[in-house]
Structure 1
Amino acid sequence: MTTTYALLLRGINVSGHRKLPMAELRDLLEGLGHGGVRTYLQSGNAVFTTGSDAAGDALAAGIGEAIEERFGFACDCLVRDHAYLAAVAEACPFPADELEGKQLHAVYYSEPVTADRFAAVDAGAFAPEDFALGDRVVYLHTPDGLGRSKLAEAVLRPSLNKGVVNTARNWNTVRKLVEMTAA
């Protein structure tokens, strides 16, 4: 059975660092035996199909190793299937249809997120910004965008995220990846 996945890369093509051209990423994924490879934007989003029995974490590890071998730098990778991506979008506790894409973000995690991890973050101190926990995701509502968000700084602080892979996508990208993996 063939499964369609989204690949989410963290921290590539930012300010001219860790350059990974999307055409080369497509070639790399095809070289690993994946089909139907498409990319979205330059920030490390790809969709592919595979008949492999490997689960998302195993696929992510293999892709991460291939990226390091080919491009010479380590790159955190998350691989998620359509069902997961659609469930994340559907479970959003914020009024996604009423917000601009830049005002709402999903921060995908490599493992479950718990209230204990974020207990030190007083969400009320950052109002009107807010966050909520989901299935391996943190939803961030940032009315002025992620780049100016003090709440995002607090939630994404390295000390709170030690030992896990996470990567953020704005809501436009969340929707697009759901759409792209549905085919």
Structure 2
Amino acid sequence: MVAASAGVTGRIRPPVCRTRRRESLVERLHMTFVALLHAVNLGARRKVPMTDLRALLTGLGLREVRTYIQSGNAVFSADPQPNLRGRLEAALEAQFGFPVPVTLRTAQEWQEAAADCPAHLRSEAVVVAFLRDPPDPERVAALRARDVTPERWEIVGQTLYQTVQDGVRTMKLSAAVIERTLGVGVTVRNERTVEAIAAMLDT
């Protein structure tokens, strides 16, 4: 989102310009985010109860905090701020005693990810891998060079869509393989979760 200009011209601007700037500031102060916690609640050691997560996020001054199931998915509103992801990760580690990487998406980015699954993959079950940071093109090329037949995949921006043949646990293109090859953090969600969070953002 591009902020309105704050330049001073010495002239009184028409009312419509002032109105547009007020609307832009209001939008900036009410951004909605999706936070995906990596690898929580998969075993006995990395427990993050969702009630505790909601309390933690609310305590950080985030608004309208909601969570979805136990895999570490939170929706909230916040003022745009530098290093929001870093603040979340520091607070999570302080609260729960272990590092918890976080992937952040704005509401618009999430809705785009929910809608952008390539058409040639849609006839099969698909999982979505969300990348923490933009991948290097050379590393994407290295990932393409891997033989993961019969699985198929495509990357769109910071989102990787991949087909599932015999269950997530047997996938050749696992989250660990994606992370190691691309050199960025990855967390995976199934189609149901992606669609459910998209629906939450519409309410």
Bin for the TM-score computed over the shorter chain? 0.7 to 0.9
Alignment of 1:57-136 (within 5 A): 58-94=83-119, 98-99=123-124, 103-121=125-143, 125-136=147-158
Check if 1:28 corresponds to 2:50.
no
TM-score by length of 1: 0.85
Structure 1 position 79, deviation (Å): 1.5
Q: 2 CA distance for matches of 1:176 and 1:95?
A: 22
Q: Is the 8 A contact 1:123 1:129 kept in 2?
A: no
Whole-Å Cα distance in 1 between the matches of residues 175 and 188 of structure 2? 12
1:110 alignment partner AA? R
Larger radius of gyration: 2
Gaps of 5+ in 1: none
Following the alignment from structure 1 to structure 2, what is the Cα–Cα distance between the partners of residues 133 and 181?
Answer: 23
| Matching residue of 1:53 | 80
Secondary structure in 1 aligned to 2:48?
Answer: coil
1:165 counterpart = 2:185: yes
The higher relative CO (CA closer than 8 Å, separation ≥ 6) is in 1
Deviations 1:95-129 (A, max 9, x none): 67644xxx311111122234421333457833331
Report SS of the residue matched to 2:174: helix
1:9 aligns with one of 16, 23, 37 = 37
In structure 2, how many angstroms separate the alpha carbons of the residues matched to 1:41 and 1:166?
19
Change (3 A) 1:53 1:75: same
2:68 aligns with one of 22, 28, 40: 40
Q: Structure 2 regions of 5+ residues with no counterpart?
A: 1-28
- Supply the AA of the counterpart residue of 1:34: L
1:152 aligns with 2:181: no
Q: Is the 8 Å Cα contact of residues 108 and 137 (structure 1) preserved in structure 2?
A: yes
**Cα root mean square deviation, aligned:** 2.1
Evaluate the alpha carbon distance shift between residue 83 and residue 122 of structure 1 in structure 2; reply closer, same or farther with a 3 A threshold: closer
Q: 1:12 to 1:59 in 2, by over 3 A?
A: same
Q: Secondary structure at the match of 1:119?
A: helix
1:182–1:149: structure 2 CA closer, same or farther, 3 Å change rule?
same
In structure 2, the residue corresponding to 1:125 is in which secondary structure? coil
Amino acid at match of 1:132: E
TM-score, L = length of structure 2: 0.77
TM-fit CA distance, 1:154 = 7.4
